[in-house]
């Protein structure tokens, strides 16, 4: 997305009428190739030109060589593959095909619609303690800076909007101007302008957002409308929002409590046995130490990640040490060979 992924063939901006005509021509061909649903991302209606074309494609039944078929059928002269997005050139326009499963298709389509609207709403979600992205509205349980588990609250984008304080019906109506998009971002009773300021983003987002005209335009909009003075402080705590999520989403509290129990188990097991002890017992360092820990966790007979922690708590240190020494002996030949 953004129209700057291709380096080997020049592209140009398309006016909306020719842009829509091109998509109508492409849609049946893409549906035949991907063997699933294909949708053009919605945009605000007064948008005059487009630097690229963003299309969500259903990924459940993609053939192994689908990108080669795309290149062949559209006689493309350049392409770029970046994870879930395949970018190619067609008639001097950058085309971004964004993969999404059938389950997450609607959410991905809605999240990416209307010029970074989803990204701006995601900043508010993050401020409230959640994550809004391609895969839905999620809650990350952390142990310090480490994420222990990611719990999904919903894959229904309209439900996500409602939880974040937005009117789902207003979103369904679409937007005529970029200003209407900005007004929508600010319409939640939980909205806090500070969560969108560049200085409050992490390093990765600061670098990305500085290059996004929609984001820069939103900062100018907030300044012009006086939002920083009108709402200078957060209007809700993360604790309040977490309780609201527990009250709103069935099954979330149970998943949360299960994660807290696992976290307690993990902390107790780590206190009893950890990588420092493996180093003391075997002298193994660095990358090899990590390999020993990984081998011990994932190849110990009959245990999964949760059971491993319980095994540590139920087993005396001498037996754990013997198991570690056995893993080291199994791995050593591979280390010397490399």
| pLDDT tier, 2 (very low <50, low <70, confident <90, very high otherwise) | low
DSSP single-letter state for residue 236: S
Q: Taking all residues of the chain, what is their mean pLDDT, rounded to a whole number? A: 91
Shared-domain flag, residues 94 and 25: yes
The answer on 209 and 126 residing in a single domain is yes
User: Do 216 and 296 have their domain in common?
Assistant: no
Using CA atoms, how far apart are residues 52 and 94, in angstroms rounded to an integer?
A: 5
Tell me the per-residue pLDDT of 26-74, one tens digit each, with 9 for 90 and over. Answer: 999 999 999 999 999 999 999 999 999 999 999 999 999 999 999 999 9
In this structure, the answer to whether residues 88 and 164 fall within a common structural domain is: no
Q: Which residue has the tokens 């509205």?
A: 137
User: For the chain, where are the alpha helices, taking DSSP H only?
Assistant: 16-34, 66-73, 105-111, 117-128, 157-163, 168-173, 178-185, 203-209, 213-225, 227-230, 238-248, 252-272, 275-282, 286-299, 305-314, 317-337
Residue 107 belongs to a domain? no
Do residues 214 and 136 share a domain?
A: yes
Q: Which domain holds residue 166?
A: 113-248
Structural domains counted in the chain: 3
* pLDDT exceeds 60 at position 1: no
Partner residues linked to 40 by β-bridges: 55
Strands (E), 14-78: 14-15, 38-40, 49-50, 52-58
79, part of any domain: yes
With a threshold of 0.75, does the pTM exceed it? Answer: yes
What is the torsion angle, in degrees rounded to the nearest 10, for the CA atoms of residue 107, residue 112, residue 114 and residue 118?
Answer: 80
Q: What is the tens place of the pLDDT at every residue in 160-202?
A: 999 999 999 999 999 999 999 999 999 999 999 999 998 888 8
How confident is the model over 7-31, as pLDDT tens digits? 778 889 999 999 999 999 999 999 9
Q: Give per-residue pLDDT as tens, 237-252.
A: 999 999 999 999 999 9
Residue 32 burial by Cβ neighbours in a 10 Å radius (0-12, 13-18, 19+): exposed
């Amino acid at each position: 997305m953004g129209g700057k992924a291709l380096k080997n063939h020049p592209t140009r901006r398309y006016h909306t009428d020719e842009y829509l005509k091109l998509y109508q021509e492409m849609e049946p061909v893409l549906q035949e190739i991907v063997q699933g649903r294909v949708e053009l991302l919605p945009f605000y209606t007064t948008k005059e030109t487009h630097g690229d074309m963003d299309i969500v494609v259903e990924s459940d039944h993609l053939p192994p060589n689908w990108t080669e078929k795309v290149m062949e059928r559209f006689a493309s002269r350049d392409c770029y593959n970046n994870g879930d997005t395949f970018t190619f050139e067609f008639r001097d326009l950058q085309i971004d095909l964004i993969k999404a499963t059938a389950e997450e298709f609607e959410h991905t389509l809605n999240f990416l619609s209307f010029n970074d609207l989803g990204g701006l709403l995601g900043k508010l979600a993050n401020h409230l303690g959640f994550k809004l992205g391609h895969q839905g509205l999620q809650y990350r349980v952390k142990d310090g800076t480490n994420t222990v588990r990611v719990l999904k609250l919903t894959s229904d984008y309209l439900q996500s909007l409602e939880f974040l304080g937005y009117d789902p019906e207003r979103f369904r109506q679409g937007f005529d101007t970029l200003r209407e998009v900005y007004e929508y971002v600010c319409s939640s009773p939980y909205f806090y302008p500070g969560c969108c300021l560049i200085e409050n983003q992490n390093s990765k987002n600061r670098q990305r957002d500085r290059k996004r005209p929609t984001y820069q335009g939103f900062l100018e909009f907030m300044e012009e409308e006086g939002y920083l003075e009108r709402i200078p402080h957060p209007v809700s705590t993360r604790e309040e929002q977490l309780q609201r999520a527990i009250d709103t989403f069935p099954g979330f509290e149970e998943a949360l409590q299960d994660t807290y129990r696992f976290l307690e188990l993990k902390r107790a097991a780590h206190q009893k046995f950890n990588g420092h002890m493996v180093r003391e017992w075997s002298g193994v360092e660095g990358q090899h130490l990590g390999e020993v820990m990984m081998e011990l966790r994932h190849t110990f007979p009959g245990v999964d990640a949760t059971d491993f922690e319980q095994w540590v708590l139920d087993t005396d240190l001498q037996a754990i040490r013997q198991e570690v020494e056995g893993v080291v002996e199994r791995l050593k030949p591979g280390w010397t060979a490399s």
